[in-house]
Structure 1
Amino acid sequence: MYSPCRRIVRADVPPAFRVRGINAPLLLCWPNAALGSGADYGVDFSGLLDRGERVVAAEAQCSGASIAWVSLFGPVVALWTQWSASGPQQVMISVRTSFDVTLDTSVSIVVRPAPSLITPAVPAYAPNAFLLGAAIVPDASGNPLIFG
């Protein structure tokens, strides 16, 4: 069974770093990547959810990358990204919760101009997509239904 990668950042400030009276902007960053490389990345929204609330839908956008899939693993939004432009990149992630709340965050990454030594094959579907043999079971919006 697939579990999300280790490149997961929290969408909130951990309690140990909170200072009373200071509301500093949250800067989320993934580790640097090479041009043309691809991997799964994640954002953990658990610190922003109320009791009984869960993430029900997610979208991700980035002009300097190809996003193969976006999937949910509990409160973690995971996505497979292949970097097509070098330099600082910004990935915008938006989620909708079961309480019909929209949470938006952006994550930065620096893509080095040196090309990746190994170019990974881009997966067609998220690893938790619901497949029946070769057939994909879609959800209401036409995306693969996922276990999450």
Structure 2
Amino acid sequence: MAAVTQPGASVIGTHTRVQGDIEADEDLTVEGHVKGTITCKQHTVTLGTSGQIIGDVYAHTLHVSGEVEGNLVASHRATIHMGANVRGTLVTPCLMLEDGSTFHGAIDMDPDSDTLKNAFSGIADRGQTLASPDCDDSDADAPDATPAP
């Protein structure tokens, strides 16, 4: 029987270790261990609770629930979920740090950051724009906000 995967998404399973750089042109979920640079500049990288990344990550959107030691660069948004442990530098115009997450390092939320411009310059050159610093946009994974009566 063939494994069932979601179209347009790759998964590194809990019992998988990757040593080397990864370039993905689709969403990537890491439940295992990666030692190297992950480049997924137009898609989402999700690090599951059992996942570990030692190295840098470049993505449009980041969801971190596991352990990271390295630099995280997201052109749109990064969310560090409860239980996550991040050590390094985080560069993104929109950052969500949930209660119960641990972060040790530096944060740069300047949307005009040289790091963002340099890392994502090829994308902007192809007519796409970097994310605006407005964190109030509607993401599919964001909870609905209902105004109080």
TM-score, normalised by the number of residues in structure 1: 0.30
Q: Which has the higher contact order (CA 8 A, sep 6+)?
A: 1
Which of the two has higher C-alpha Rg?
1
